[in-house]
Amino acid sequence: MAGRTVIDRIWDAHVVAELGGGRALLHIDRIFLHERMGPALLGGLAAAGRRPAQPGLVFGVMDHTVDTKPTRSESTAGGGTFIETFRQRIAQAGIRAFDLDDPRQGIVHVVSPEQGIALPGCTLVCPDSHTCTLGGIGALAWGIGSTEGEHAVATQTLVRPAPRRMQIRFDGRLGAGVGAKDLVLALIARFGVEGGQGCAIEFTGEAVRALGIESRLTLCNMTVEFGAWTGLVAPDDTTIDWIAGRPFAPEGAVWDRAVAHWRTLVSDDDAVWDETRSIDASTLAPQLTWGTSPEQAVAIDQAVPDPADAPDRQRRAAMERALAYMDLQPGAPLLGTPIEAAFIGSCTNSRLPDLREAAAVLRGRKVAVGLKALVVPGSMQVRAAAEAEGLDRIFTEAGFEWRKSGCSLCFFSGADDFGGARRVISTTNRNFEGRQGPGVRTHLASPATVAASAIAGRIADARVIERI
């Protein structure tokens, strides 16, 4: 018998029934809802006369449209109605929620592992495409639409076609100043936004095993930008140590049984993969996007690519459109390109180690005159932990606005904006036209690169800024 992958093991443990044609009915261990999609989903369920099958396994958060300003208003631009309606419907459904006054409130993909609700080997869904983030702790997690959401809440199951299984190896050790965000941007740039189309990915290799859990969450967060169904890192001692003692994590004898099970969630040495891809992580530099797709990225010290070098007409046209929108010229250096705003936040890079990374660059320095800079912690617990370490003072003394938790400027909802700034550098996951506001040109990068660029007022390499 051929060896099995960790994806096979988690999948097989959740099959309720084989439906033929490669499809299976899967048990769903946890469901998360947020105020942007939750009201319509629960409203549709109620209108059909259905209730949650297991309300204790469904959780709600307020994150997408919330006000992140320090004074936190209940009413944001378009968000107030979503929030109030969601409150009413989760109360009617008997669902636990982390509301704005809850010290556990935050971005759904930050809160779920932070609280120990998402666990290794579990299946978890949420009506948000970046649910794959939770693969960082070894969960099989994916984003769903409203119809699937209603089915999951009503039955605690979903029908899924079996995915293709892909192994992505990051061999070698990461160089100084290179992290998980750089790994995933390099991956997408090399193989394209359809490189993982429909696959479930296991990230392996020396560079991956050396990552902390928060970095593994960052890596898995952008598997959807790679076109994949989901991605994960098999749980190990690092995972188990990180989960131990979290509020919803198992305890006592149940914890012991859980850990024993989690240790079985590995791929066999002779596991069969539909596809394997490898990158030598030791060769990578910090990455930066130059265009309007996550695949349009290069090493920060490289020049803007030339569409004339594109392999086909379609790719050439896409590059030309991106350069026109971004107002960049082929062959021009990215380093030194002036920016007008900097953003640190989102489910990609808003956890405590991300804030520490940026603060290490900012300590004792000031952002460029006239530059708008915001930092939005991924949860109120991350915010409190950062304040306990004094990171908030480093940010504010440098000239960053220190916000409360929420999705904020990961996308433009009207709640937050960059004012008149049009070229920004951001730790978020998408750089589409208008993603962070009408006409805003977004360069995606790591927290360290964003911090260094905020100081310089132009795109800068954090590796050449002396850390104090």
Cα-based distances in Å from 50 to 58, 95, 126, 467:
15, 14, 19, 57
Dihedral over Cα of 366, 368, 445, 416: its sign: positive
Among the candidates 124, 140, 163, a domain finishes at 163
Helix (H, G, I), strand (E, B) or coil at 24: strand
Residue span of the structural domain in which 391 resides: 287-464
Query: In this structure, are 307 and 441 located in the same domain?
Result: yes
Buried-state track 219-231, b at ≥16 Cβ within 10 A, e below 16: bbbbbbbbbbbbb
Q: Specify if 175 maps to a domain.
A: no
Number of folded domains that form the chain: 2
CATH number at residue 97: 3.30.499.10
Cα-based distances in Å from 212 to 129, 216, 329:
23, 6, 38
Query: In this structure, are 313 and 453 located in the same domain?
Result: yes
Q: Specify if 258 maps to a domain.
A: no
pLDDT (tens, 9 = 90+) of the chain, 468 residues, equals: 679 999 999 999 999 999 999 999 999 999 999 999 999 999 999 999 999 999 999 999 999 999 999 988 765 556 788 999 999 999 999 999 999 999 999 999 999 999 999 999 999 999 999 999 999 999 999 999 999 999 999 999 999 999 999 999 999 999 999 999 999 999 999 999 999 999 999 999 999 999 999 999 999 999 999 999 999 999 999 999 999 999 999 999 999 999 999 999 999 999 999 999 999 999 999 999 999 999 999 999 999 999 999 999 999 999 999 999 999 999 999 999 999 999 999 999 999 999 999 999 999 999 999 999 999 999 999 999 999 999 999 999 999 999 999 999 999 876 788 999 999 999 999 999 999 999 999 999 999 999 999 999 999 999 998 543
Q: 253 φ, ψ to 5°?
A: -65, -30
Helix (H, G, I), strand (E, B) or coil at 332: coil
Q: Specify if 243 maps to a domain.
A: no
Among the candidates 148, 163, 178, a domain finishes at 163
Q: Specify if 211 maps to a domain.
A: no
Q: How many CB atoms lie within 10 A of CB 239?
A: 22
Q: Specify if 182 maps to a domain.
A: no
Contact 121, 262 (CB under 8 A): yes
Angle between helices 380-388 and 352-362 (to 10 degrees): 40
Q: Residue 206 burial by CB count (10 A; 0-12/13-18/19+): exposed, middle or buried?
A: middle
Strand residue runs (E) in 174-299: 199-204, 230-232, 275-280, 287-289, 297-299
What are the structure tokens assigned to 35, written together?
Answer: 């105020």
Query: In this structure, are 296 and 159 located in the same domain?
Result: no
Q: Specify if 249 maps to a domain.
A: no
Among the candidates 163, 194, 211, a domain finishes at 163
Q: How many CB atoms lie within 10 A of CB 263?
A: 14
Alpha-carbon distance of 442 to 337, in angstroms, equals 12
Q: Specify if 195 maps to a domain.
A: no
